[in-house]
Amino acid sequence: MAAGILTSPAFPDMASMVAGPALAAGGASWLAWRYLREWRQRHMLPSKLGFRSDPQVIAAGRHEAIREALLFGYTTDKGLPVWGSYQDLMGHLVVKGQSGVGKTVGQSGLMFQHILNGGGVLFIDGKLDYETLETMHQMMVWAGREGDFRVINPGKPEISNTYNPILDGDSDEVAARCLSLIPDTSNSPGADHFRQQANQGISTLIAALQRTGLAYNFIDLTILLQSSAALDYLERILTREAPDAPERINLSIFLNQFRRGKGINIEALKSTFGGIGGRLYMFGTGKFGQVSNHYNPQVRLFDDLLAQRVIYVMLPTMGKAEAASNYGKMVTGDLRTAVSWLQDLPKEQRPWPPTFGLFDEAGSYITKAWDRLFEQSRSSHTILAPAFQTDANLEAISQELREMVEGNTWFKQYYKLGTQATAESAAEMIGMITRVQRSLTMSDSESASSQVLRTTPESNEGAASGVAYQEREQEEYRISPDQLKRLDRGECVLTYGGDRVYNLRVPMIQFSDEFKEKCPPFTPRDITPPFRQGINLFRRVGEFLSAESQQTLENEAKG
């Protein structure tokens, strides 16, 4: 309108002659901008998929709402934020993607938000990454929570808090952690028989130790498994202090199987335990021992998770693959105990925000025991978020475990996938969509014939044409396996509750150089835990083990 007025004869000057077309062009541009807004928002962030995410997203504009949800990322089509509420996140999250495509970046972003919300974290890292350690330390400093930070690093004790993974839990739970050091024997009935015997024996010994009221460590268990004199000593303690206790009776019944005359046949006992003493010895000595061979450790999972602390477990899988893997299995076993204790608390006493368990490169330390965690931990206010590279990481344990993890995760996050099998299973999990395939067929034909041998030849001519239009429905992948293999770094596909699908760009958490310079370097917090007396069998090792037995023990640990 303004352009029309200015170009009328009432405004003949040159300014109006210039301003009129300019205003007209501006108005046209504004209308075009509004008209094309939907088109512009289709690909606001770069993506090769061209996928339109589900329009239903969680609004978290208010501060109170943000504290009840975590931001996953922004949709590539419209740039909208996608949040996961804590209530839904307690249904768990599984992350898949090959190395170096953004899994750790995504996990770090979720963890940082959770730390800012005041939540507790258990982060088990299947790779020894000191850059991640410094980043987590900076997160804690930024949030003003550096006093809540704990680090378990059996590869470098000088920057680790102390932690005894076999101290808490009932005898069966601790025995299961110890047995996780031995390869699975479920497919071999003969070997499984001896494994069950070993489980019974270790459970009996743990129950007896716990009945004494004294703390114990890896070296104490190792000595008991190698020395008849140490077993007699434990039995005498219980006979003196709790003669009628079932733990004392069970210990005597177990030991009677191996008594020969007045002594215990230690070779038969060792055969029953299948060399597990040497494996336990590995965690009671050297660098692992400096971190784990303690009666009063600085980290107690249940207490720390209940207090909303942040625990970073660094596994040296590259240099000590088997030991690091076994250590991770014991930590997750301890987590099962902590989760069961949290379940027993009244609902109002369970952690909120929920405890966040992140498990990077989880394929290096998973066990069959994981399935119960995914089934039952929601009621304890615990979120589980394991990350894998391929489905083979889960299937190497069992197909049932993979089904349990897939079937008990409300969120599934797929980064760039590196194998066809994993990409196909992910595409099937994302789902199919029915599309209409249309086809249009056109045909033309002409014909001519004549009988040339007749005096009056006859001839025929004909022409025909036709058009056929056809529609049929067929199912196709919403996102194909090939598309999942072509995702960019920092890009993922997220399924939410099984019915909503989002193509996201994941933001990266970065601190300024100025803040990093001001942030002090990480040093483990000096913590004085409550004192508890230990049984301390090592102080009497000269009575319990001969020099030959001690050498045998060391050889078993090395071999």
Give the pLDDT score at 345.
95
Residue 540 token pair? 């009497």
Q: Is 172 left (phi over 0), alpha (psi -120 to 50) or beta?
A: alpha
**Using an 8 Å Cβ cutoff, are 135 and 510 in contact?**
no
Token readout for 196 is 């069950």
Burial of residue 244 (CB within 10 Å: 0-12, 13-18, 19+) is exposed
CB atoms within 10 A of CB 163: 26
* Alpha helices (H) in 213-312, listed in sequence order: 218-226, 228-241, 246-256, 266-273, 276-284, 286-292, 301-306
Question: What pLDDT does residue 140 have?
Answer: 96
Tally of residues, the chain: 559
Cα–Cα distance measured from residue 480 to residue 426, given in angstroms and rounded to the nearest whole number: 9
Query: Are the C-beta atoms of 19 and 471 separated by less than 8 Å?
Result: no
CB 322 within 8 A of CB 359: no
Among positive and negative, which fits the CA dihedral 525, 531, 532, 537? positive
* DSSP conformation class of 449: E
Contact in structure between 409 and 93 (CB atoms under 8 Å): yes
Q: Which residue has the tokens 């007209």?
A: 24
Q: Could you give the CA distance from residue 343 to residue 147 in angstroms, rounded to a whole number? A: 26
Instruction: Write out the H or E segment, with its range, that includes residue 167.
Output: none
- CB-neighbour burial class of residue 186 (10 A; exposed 0-12, middle 13-18, buried 19+): exposed
Residue 53 confidence (pLDDT):
85
- What pLDDT is stored for residue 54 in this prediction? 84
Give CA–CA dist 69/84, Å, rounded: 5
Residue 94, SS3 per DSSP = strand
Q: Are residues 353 and 118 in contact, defined by beta-carbon separation less than 8 angstroms?
A: yes
Q: What is the pLDDT of residue 40?
A: 47
- The 3 state secondary structure assigned to 491-506 is EEEEEECCCEEEEEEC
Residues 395, 409: Cα–Cα separation, whole Å:
17
Low-confidence ranges of the chain (pLDDT < 70): 1-44, 57-66, 183-194, 318-319, 434-441, 443-466, 468-474, 545-559
Contact 195, 185 (CB under 8 A): yes
The DSSP secondary-structure symbol of 331 reads H
> What is the rounded distance in angstroms from the CA atom of residue 111 to the CA atom of residue 383?
11
Q: Give tens-digit pLDDT for 264-300.
A: 877 887 777 777 887 888 888 889 999 999 999 999 9
89's CB contacts (< 8 A; 6+ apart) are 70, 354, 383, 410, 411
Distances (CA, A) of 436 to 130, 423, 461, 471: 53, 25, 40, 6
Closest CA to 549 of 229, 238, 98: 229
Q: Are 526 and 540 in contact (CB under 8 A)?
A: no
